[in-house]
Amino acid sequence: MNNKLIQFVRDTYQTNDFIPLHAPTFSGNEKAYVTDTIESTFVSSVGKYVEDFEKHIEAYTGTAKAVAAVNGTAALHTALYMAGVKAGDLVITQALTFVATCNALFHMGAEPIFVDVSKISLGLCSQATSDFLDDNAVVNNEGECIHKTSGRRIKAVVPMHTFGHPVELDELLTVCLKWNLVLVEDAAESLGSFYKGKHTGTIGDFSAISFNGNKIITTGGGGMVLCKHLDDGVHTRHVTTTAKVPHPYEFYHDEPGFNYRLPNLNAALGCAQMEVLPEFLEQKRLLAGKYQTLFSDSEFQFVVEPKYAQSNYWLNAIICPDKVSRDLLLKETNEQGVMTRPIWQLMHRLPMFKNSFRGDLKVSEWVEAHLINLPSSPIKVV
Ligand SMILES: *Cc1c(COP(=O)(O)O)cnc(C)c1O
């Protein structure tokens, strides 16, 4: 199978050079728009492309307000801040995620509680979340959700749509309403992924998208906060731009703010990339289908979108029968210049999160030991 896979990837990308996991493609108006920002001198946080990019994302996702940020981690930090997460709070999330999810929490003085993922979505499991709260939490007289053994407040639930596969959002929202928790989606990987027809990141009150170089579209570095409610969106925009009160020349700031606004230079790239997003999605779905066929008669199981969802198939993934075959596949493909990668090590194994509270993580541990990501760049039309 390993050689068959290497041959398939080489045939698909039609090259004998190194094949990365996910590379950006600039085949549209990227150069023209970026050049335009330089010629206009508006390369920084003021300029028409930033607002245009936000409008693009609003129209595409259907969110009430999109607020551009310098990267996905900053967008997530802003989303958690707007959700009311404060120092000392606990936040439920998955141990099977990229470290940025937890870094954003850490730097707010909050701490994660790790709950298991679903075998179907690879993202936060609604049943495990509900069970964890039943066993470990109470709602106090003020309506706050309190973690029983520590006495600390649990403020939010942060599911992450792993590799673009949407989690069970309706069920998670029900759990959040019952326990008075804010749903904040880490939609960093899921631009172009829909849950029961709704774009990911539009079900929670706040969410964050990333436009890092390896994501489905890129702005070099960049992110976006999605706000479900317009008034929250207006406030989010305010805090990401130093909370400056508009005035022709006076500097007055009415609350602590961030300097997180995406530069116009980067937003120009984003506007051009949004124009080709539908094409990328089509190409990635085609590629996922080909991988699925390739692995159909093998002992490897190709990860498909959950039935309730349409995934962007950001990173294709397979589940290996055991760790030995996983390690062999990683070794042979990488030696031959076809990049494959194991999934992230679970967050509770990292020194800064090893003492964080956690539930049973059986599925997360199983995925960690068996999953491999495969080259997933949109196939260039030849
Ligand atoms: C990429 C990513 C982020 C952070 O995005 P940056 O733009 O790199 O800061 C956050 N969470 C997840 C799950 C990601 O994959």
Tell me, rounded to whole angstroms, the distance of Cα 196 from its chain centroid: 18
Spatial contact of 124 and 117, defined as CB atoms under 8 Å apart: yes
Tens-digit pLDDT profile for residues 25-36? 999 999 999 999
Give the pLDDT confidence score for residue 134 in this predicted structure. 98
Q: Give me the numbers of helices (H) and strands (E) for the chain, helices first please.
A: 11, 16
Give the pLDDT confidence score for residue 45 in this predicted structure. 84
Tens-digit pLDDT profile for residues 322-331? 999 999 999 9
**Mean pLDDT, rounded, of the chain:** 97
Query: How large is the average pLDDT for residues 348-367?
Result: 98
Q: Given 3-state DSSP classes, what are the helix, strand and coil percentages for the chain, each rounded to the nearest 5?
A: 40, 20, 40
Q: What are the backbone angles phi and psi of residue 269, rounded to the nearest 5°?
A: -60, -40
Ligand 1 center from residue 32 Cα (angstroms):
27
Give the number of the atom of ligand 1 that is nearest the alpha carbon of residue 222: 7
Ligand 1 center from residue 39 Cα (angstroms):
31
How many angstroms separate the Cα of 112 from the Cα of each of 152, 182, 240, 368?
12, 14, 24, 19
Domains contained in the chain, CATH given = 30-274 (3.40.640.10)
Task: Output the residue whose Cα is nearest ligand 1's atom 5.
Answer: 72
Pocket perturbation via mutation, ligand 1, pick of 162, 191, 212 by most ligand atoms within 8 A of CB: 212
For residues 217 and 276, give the distance between their C-alpha atoms in angstroms, rounded to a whole number.
Answer: 9
Tell me, rounded to whole angstroms, the distance of Cα 206 from its chain centroid: 13
Closest C-alpha to 338, from 310, 296, 299, 373: 373
Give the pLDDT confidence score for residue 382 in this predicted structure. 45
Query: How large is the average pLDDT for residues 355-375?
Result: 98
User: Residues with Cβ < 8 Å from 210, sequence gap 6 or more?
Assistant: 71, 72, 73, 75, 100, 188, 189, 222, 223
Q: Which residues line ligand 1 (CB under 6 A)?
A: 71-73, 76, 97-98, 100-101, 160, 186, 188-189, 210, 212, 223
CB-CB neighbours of 104 under 10 Å: 28
Pocket perturbation via mutation, ligand 1, pick of 97, 158, 210, 266 by most ligand atoms within 8 A of CB: 210
Query: How large is the average pLDDT for residues 88-102?
Result: 98
Q: Which of 38-47, 111-120, 300-309, 354-363 has the lowest mean pLDDT?
A: 38-47
What is the band of 379 on the pLDDT scale with cuts at 50, 70, 90? confident
What is the band of 380 on the pLDDT scale with cuts at 50, 70, 90? low
Give the number of the atom of ligand 1 that is nearest the alpha carbon of residue 97: 13
Give the number of the atom of ligand 1 that is nearest the alpha carbon of residue 160: 13
Single-letter amino acid, residue 118:
S
